[in-house]
Amino acid sequence: MRRRAVSIFIWLSLLAAGAGVVARAHFAADMTAFLPSRPSAAQQILVDELRDGVVSRVILMAIDGSDPEARAQMSQDLTTRLHANPLFLAVANGRELAVTGQKSFVFEHRYLLSSEVGAALFTVPGLRSAIADTLDIMASSAGLFPEELLLSDPTGETVRIIDQLTPVGGPRYRAGVWSTADGTGALLIAQTRATGSDVDGQEQAIRVIRAEFDTLRGASPPATPRDLDLDLKISGPGVLAVRSRATIEGEAIRLSVLSALLIAALLLLAYRSLRTLLLGFLPVISGALAGTAAVALTFGVVHGVTLAFGVILIAESVDYSIYLLTQVRRGRRTDEFGEWASTIWPTVRLGLLTSLCGFASLLPSGFPGLAQLGLYTMTGLLAAALVTRYVLPDLLPGGWTAQPIAALGTVVERGISHLQRYRQLLWIVPVIAAATLFARWDTLWNSDLAALSPISAGDQLLDARLRSGLGASGMGDLVVIRAPDDQAALRAAESVAVGLEALVRANEIGGFDSPARYLPSLELQRSRQAALPSAVVLQNRLRAAVATLPIQADRLEPFVAAVESARASPLVTRSDLDGTLLAAGVDALLMQREHHAVALLPLRPAAGGPISAAIDAVRVAAALGALPPDVQAMVVNMKHESDAIYAGYQSQAISLSLLGFGAIVLLLLITLRSPIRVARVVTPLMFSVLVVMALLAASGRALTILHLVGLLLIVAVGSNYSLFFETRLANSAAAHRTTVLASLVIANLAAVLGFGVLALSPAPVLAALGMTIAPGAFMALLFSALMAAPQRGERGS
């Protein structure tokens, strides 16, 4: 009794401690679960971008339905509303210049911001040519230039700057606003104040957008039927993070509950006692709590994927209680558990150790999501097994007896011995499977990081549609500059731009963007300021410059005054840009890190070639020119880096899994002390893994890391079956044998039901786990039974 009280006390204390840890744990539901924990310098850029860079803050919106004018009106109204909301740093719909009044900001600061400003512009020929150009535009485009603008900005600097801000190859226009590529929706882009990894902030931003849209649609006077037809679609990294959290919270948990209910129904049939059923779930619940607490303590943050998939992975622990609660029979409690502990438990323990070896192979993964899953599963299984062994028996009421299930075992045994006759045919199975795998080897593994995202195919399509409307994939070639501070980064961006412009002229690249385009370095602004002539000098030069032009120099007095005031005006800093499109431009491309600043210069490939020419990173790198010693510049292809990260995970995960398999074999060798027995345990598992891989490949599915996790789980769950067949069933009495067999069948049915439900999920990751494990677990039992049978027969005779 004392031991019983102690073990229950320890268990309850650990549960309470675990609950305490979990209650304080920090949960994350963004893509960072898929990012490397030890990134290279180039990968770090990608990681930062995905975590809190501007790429992560973008929300794309499409207004569909009704007609182009109604969509444009809604696009404009929504932009105005969102622009006034502090949750958003910037909102654009193609008409942002008109919305935000930044035209006047650009106009005011034109002599510091325009790339044309320099000594050459203010010479007599420079002025003449610039003013003549402006007059040409004025004459030909009939009023593009208001007359006041001609008088105060005759060299056309405002138009020049606005031109720089208008994206080249950007979205197409319809009814005056941006439209999706297919022209069926108005396109808007918002940039949230919340970073992409701040899922709550993103969720709030999405709620605000939806609420504003609904208000505008419902209440805009007059609420015409065509307005009611309008529909809002939202996407973007933050939106997808919110949705994947919803998937995890909704889908994974809903399916887990559904599969738990199915398993519960099954077990209720077996146990015929509600109380036993509830007791049977205690190990799983303890395991889930222990796993979450271990991850929270080790990693500091628990990824949503860990929670969602971890619960699924430790479903194996239901088996432990099944083995206990279906097999304990006869007499007084102390006796029966004593026997269980000495006969069945060692096999369960070996199965547990096998599973731990398998999942330990996930621990060293550079992929945090996977490492967390490994730790979660190992801790969870260990805790569940310990609770089953040391706590659960003590919680059973006195005089408790398992319901007889041997009848089921007898039926199954008959079925197995019937199938046995064909067991020679079994060797064909791995041959066919191996041949299938060989034929599909090249396309066996999925090489796209997106395959891991818990986002439905529909959402991925929507995202692609909105992105193609933007005319930018977002994942291209970049020149990345790393400098001690933001001014050094801007200066380096300006210096690198010289080389890049030469590449543009040579049509090596189509163009590039730079943070310095939106916010010139203070040094460059100072040099522009220094190039501005005094009022007297400018007046004299102007007189000479416009002598042949149809305008009087005296009329350009506002121009002279503007230049004069710019000579002494304070330089433009980042905070001056707040609320303008320029701010969004700078923030997108210039990032202040803890001890350094990073500037990004996205490159556009050259157009017009017979093939859309890829950017030659080596030539770009050669054109960057000399930089100060504390500044580094490199050329990075984001898609390449992201694929490399994923490929890295995958090959690492595959080799670690093989290592894990090696560890399992070693463990079995040490325990069973016979290579032949080890082979008997391992062969059915290998067959199952091969067949499942072949089935997936034959159905045209490319395998991802999550399939690999599923294969590991087949080995973990299946090892229990094959170990029972190898060690327990071989030399036990018929009555006992049928009971053990029946408990294996019940455990197997539970696994097949539980994981089978997941296979129906629309979320690819969940479906991947379900599709792998459900058939794999079944085959592991089947193959174990068929292969173990003759040995049992020999020994039995």
Partner 1 sequence: MVAAAAILLGCLLPSQSGAVAGEALDALLMRFRQQQHGHVTFTERYSAAVLDRPLESSGELFYDAPQRLEKRTLQPRRQRLVVENGTLVIEQRLKQYRVALADYPRAAPYIDSIRSTLAGDRQGLERVFRVEFSGSDEDWTLLLTPLDSKVAAEVATIRIQGADDAIRVVTMELTDGGQSVMTLGTATEP
Q: How far apart are CA 744 and CA 695, in angstroms?
A: 24
Size of the site for partner 1 (CB under 8 A): 38
Q: Determine which residue in the list 1, 23, 86, 141 makes contact with partner 1, applying CB under 8 A.
A: 141
Please tell me whether residue 69 binds partner 1 under the rule CB under 8 A.
Answer: yes
In the numeric block, which tokens belong to residue 231?
Answer: 């529909």
3-class SS at 144? coil
Kindly list the distances between the CA atom of residue 683 and the CA atoms of 367, 667, 781, 792, in Å, as whole numbers in the listed order.
30, 15, 12, 16
Which residues have C-beta within 8 Å of that of residue 535, sequence separation ≥ 6?
560, 561, 563, 564
Contact 378, 314 (CB under 8 A): no
Please tell me whether residue 667 binds partner 1 under the rule CB under 8 A.
Answer: no
Please tell me whether residue 146 binds partner 1 under the rule CB under 8 A.
Answer: yes
Please tell me whether residue 62 binds partner 1 under the rule CB under 8 A.
Answer: no
How remote is the C-alpha of 256 from its chain's centroid? 22
Contact 516, 629 (CB under 8 A): no
Q: How far apart are CA 132 and CA 546, in angstroms?
A: 9
C-beta closer to partner 1: residue 468 or 791:
468
Please tell me whether residue 399 binds partner 1 under the rule CB under 8 A.
Answer: no
Please tell me whether residue 550 binds partner 1 under the rule CB under 8 A.
Answer: yes
Among the listed ranges 96-104, 306-314, 696-704, 714-722, the one in contact with partner 1 (CB under 8 A) is 96-104
Least CB distance from residue 469 to partner 1, whole Å?
A: 12
Contact 195, 201 (CB under 8 A): yes
Contact 701, 441 (CB under 8 A): no
Q: Determine which residue in the list 8, 137, 268, 667 makes contact with partner 1, applying CB under 8 A.
A: 137
Please tell me whether residue 548 binds partner 1 under the rule CB under 8 A.
Answer: no
What crossing angle do the helices spanning 157-165 and 581-589 adopt, rounded to 10°?
50
Least CB distance from residue 146 to partner 1, whole Å?
A: 7
Least CB distance from residue 167 to partner 1, whole Å?
A: 9
Please tell me whether residue 142 binds partner 1 under the rule CB under 8 A.
Answer: yes
Q: How far apart are CA 516 and CA 68, in angstroms?
A: 36
Contact 784, 747 (CB under 8 A): no
Please tell me whether residue 498 binds partner 1 under the rule CB under 8 A.
Answer: no
C-beta closer to partner 1: residue 150 or 405:
150
Q: Determine which residue in the list 86, 143, 398, 629 makes contact with partner 1, applying CB under 8 A.
A: 143
C-beta closer to partner 1: residue 39 or 176:
176
Q: Binding string to partner 1 for residues 708 to 727, with x set by CB under 8 A, is what?
A: --------------------
Please tell me whether residue 764 binds partner 1 under the rule CB under 8 A.
Answer: no
Helix spans in 247-303 (H): 253-271, 274-299
Q: Determine which residue in the list 87, 97, 253, 663 makes contact with partner 1, applying CB under 8 A.
A: 97
Please tell me whether residue 162 binds partner 1 under the rule CB under 8 A.
Answer: yes
Please tell me whether residue 349 binds partner 1 under the rule CB under 8 A.
Answer: no
Please tell me whether residue 139 binds partner 1 under the rule CB under 8 A.
Answer: yes
Q: How far apart are CA 720 and CA 40, in angstroms?
A: 41
Please tell me whether residue 136 binds partner 1 under the rule CB under 8 A.
Answer: yes
Q: What letter would DSSP give residue 572?
A: P
Please tell me whether residue 608 binds partner 1 under the rule CB under 8 A.
Answer: no
Which residues have C-beta within 8 Å of that of residue 653, sequence separation ≥ 6?
362, 365, 367, 370, 705, 708
Please tell me whether residue 159 binds partner 1 under the rule CB under 8 A.
Answer: yes
Least CB distance from residue 584 to partner 1, whole Å?
A: 16
Least CB distance from residue 74 to partner 1, whole Å?
A: 15
Among the listed ranges 162-170, 194-202, 286-294, 730-738, the one in contact with partner 1 (CB under 8 A) is 162-170
Kindly list the distances between the CA atom of residue 780 and the CA atoms of 323, 711, 775, in Å, as whole numbers in the listed order.
17, 11, 9
Please tell me whether residue 147 binds partner 1 under the rule CB under 8 A.
Answer: yes
Cα torsion 214, 31, 480, 501: sign: negative
Least CB distance from residue 189 to partner 1, whole Å?
A: 14
Least CB distance from residue 467 to partner 1, whole Å?
A: 18
Please tell me whether residue 151 binds partner 1 under the rule CB under 8 A.
Answer: yes
Q: Determine which residue in the list 22, 91, 135, 763 makes contact with partner 1, applying CB under 8 A.
A: 135
Please tell me whether residue 94 binds partner 1 under the rule CB under 8 A.
Answer: yes
CA angle centred on 460, ends 174 and 369, rounded to 5°: 140
Among the listed ranges 420-428, 517-525, 550-558, 630-638, the one in contact with partner 1 (CB under 8 A) is 550-558
β-pairing verdict for 26-28 and 301-303: parallel
Among the listed ranges 39-47, 159-167, 367-375, 487-495, the one in contact with partner 1 (CB under 8 A) is 159-167
In the numeric block, which tokens belong to residue 668?
Answer: 């079995």
Q: Residue 401: what are its φ and ψ, rounded to 5°?
A: -140, 135
Q: Binding string to partner 1 for residues 163 to 182, with x set by CB under 8 A, is what?
A: x--x-x---xxxxxx-----
Among the listed ranges 7-15, 107-115, 147-155, 678-686, the one in contact with partner 1 (CB under 8 A) is 147-155
* Residue of 359, 393, 394, 392 whose CA lies nearest to 377: 359
Binding to partner 1 (CB under 8 A) within 555-594 occurs at 555
Least CB distance from residue 67 to partner 1, whole Å?
A: 10
Contact 621, 536 (CB under 8 A): no
Q: How far apart are CA 325 and CA 273, in angstroms?
A: 11
* Residue of 700, 726, 583 whose CA lies nearest to 102: 583
Burial of 797 (C-beta count, 10 Å sphere; 0-12/13-18/19+)? exposed
Please tell me whether residue 214 binds partner 1 under the rule CB under 8 A.
Answer: no
Contact 276, 2 (CB under 8 A): no
Check whether the bond before 154 is cis (ω within 30° of 0): no
Please tell me whether residue 140 binds partner 1 under the rule CB under 8 A.
Answer: yes
C-beta closer to partner 1: residue 189 or 693:
189
Least CB distance from residue 462 to partner 1, whole Å?
A: 23
Please tell me whether residue 193 binds partner 1 under the rule CB under 8 A.
Answer: no
C-beta closer to partner 1: residue 138 or 357:
138
Please tell me whether residue 86 binds partner 1 under the rule CB under 8 A.
Answer: no
C-beta closer to partner 1: residue 165 or 386:
165
C-beta closer to partner 1: residue 106 or 324:
106
Please tell me whether residue 98 binds partner 1 under the rule CB under 8 A.
Answer: yes
Q: Binding string to partner 1 for residues 34 to 53, with x set by CB under 8 A, is what?
A: --------------------
Least CB distance from residue 82 to partner 1, whole Å?
A: 18
Among the listed ranges 138-146, 682-690, 727-735, 749-757, the one in contact with partner 1 (CB under 8 A) is 138-146
Cα torsion 697, 699, 703, 706: sign: negative
Q: Residue 35: what are its φ and ψ, rounded to 5°?
A: -100, 150
Least CB distance from residue 78 to partner 1, whole Å?
A: 16
Contact 709, 313 (CB under 8 A): yes
Contact 743, 326 (CB under 8 A): yes
Q: What letter would DSSP give residue 526?
A: H
Q: Three-state SS across 26-83?
A: EEECCHHHHCCCCCCHHHHHHHHHHHHCHHHHEEEEEEECCCHHHHHHHHHHHHHHHH
Please tell me whether residue 208 binds partner 1 under the rule CB under 8 A.
Answer: no
Which residues form the interface with partner 1 (CB under 8 A)? 69, 94-95, 97-98, 103, 132-133, 135-144, 146-147, 150-151, 159-160, 162-163, 166, 168, 172-177, 550-552, 555
